Amino acid sequence: MTIDIVTAINLALSQTLQNSANTVLLGQDIGKCGGVFRVTEGLQTKFGTKRVIDTPISESLLAGMAVGMSTHGLRPIVEFQFMGFLYPALDQIINHLARMKNRTRGRLSCPSVLRMPYGGGIGAPEHHSESTEALLAHIPGLKVVVPSTPTQAYHLLIEAANCNDPVIFLEPKRIYRSVREKLDTEPTATSASQPRVVIPGNDLTIIAWGAMLHDTIEASKQLNRQGIYPEIIDLVTLSPLNLTLAYESVSKTNRCLIIHEACESFGVGAEVGYRIFDHCFNYLEAPVKRLCSPDITIPYSKMEHHYYPQINDIIQTSQALVEY
């Protein structure tokens, strides 16, 4: 039987609650209602109201509770309803959650997971479609990860829950239920947070993550018909960056395209692109390119397809790089 990403995350949360008595879930409507996207459905019934806690509508409170709980022996997993609702919590996240270990010279730490749906593609208004991961990736002390498949989401969340530092767990809601596969619960030989080659190729390297990874895979099928075979890398972890795999790939393909649905300026793609340029300069036969959204506020649903990179955009940009 195949499952989707929502079910995989639910199973990972259930497994973590069962294995760790110190783990608690916090969030708005996560208990009785099962959360906005029903990711936590059934968990309060199974584990009780002291382990799966419905909270008031206060994102700052959620992050503050995570700080207090995690410094006193608990391991909170917090759900923010949407990434665009996160901003009132940034004071607690940046000034305390991310800095506690450094501030106390390791005496205290904040083992916690902050889960949030991010990105667009579901026809929701602006605050429900944010992709501002660069804000969080810029903060020392935070680990930022993005799953792109059910199995990856399952293992990545279990790893995050066992991490002794705060982890931002970004869930690409556009593929919450559209990407399905048979779940493999066996532990992987390598960490689920490491970048991976999704499709090998020789003509150019394409780096993507989350929902855009699947658009990239679809574009590659059409590129293959034209005799172009890109190597596709799922970045997985946005911070701290591990680009060893990308360097090896670009040294082979001599071209690189980075794709994300966040705004182009000052995004993760800019940092990835510069590091590849700096490390692989002698191998490059074309400029490192980014394919991102424009630097404007996310439009309403009828205009979304004009905002986010589309499959045809990926195809055309890839063709231009190969022909450069």
Active site residues: 128
Quote the CA–CA distance of 132 and 136 in Å, as a whole number: 8
One-letter-per-residue 3-state SS of 144-191: EECCCCHHHHHHHHHHHHHCCCCEEEEEEHHHCCCCEEECCCCCCCCC
Contact at 8 Å (CB) between 69 and 109?
A: no
DSSP-derived secondary structure for 102-121: HHTTTS-----EEEEEE---
| Number of CB atoms found within 10 A of residue 271's CB | 18
Residue 290, classed as helix, strand or coil, is strand
Quote the CA–CA distance of 257 and 208 in Å, as a whole number: 9
Quote the CA–CA distance of 78 and 285 in Å, as a whole number: 45
DSSP-derived secondary structure for 245-265: HHHHHHHHHS-EEEEEEEEST
Question: Which is it for strands 204-208 and 230-234: parallel, antiparallel or unpaired?
Answer: parallel
Residue 159: is it exposed, middle or buried by C-beta count within 10 angstroms (0-12/13-18/19+)?
buried
Contact at 8 Å (CB) between 161 and 169?
A: no
DSSP-derived secondary structure for 12-31: HHHHHHHH-TTEEEEETT-S
Quote the CA–CA distance of 166 and 173 in Å, as a whole number: 21
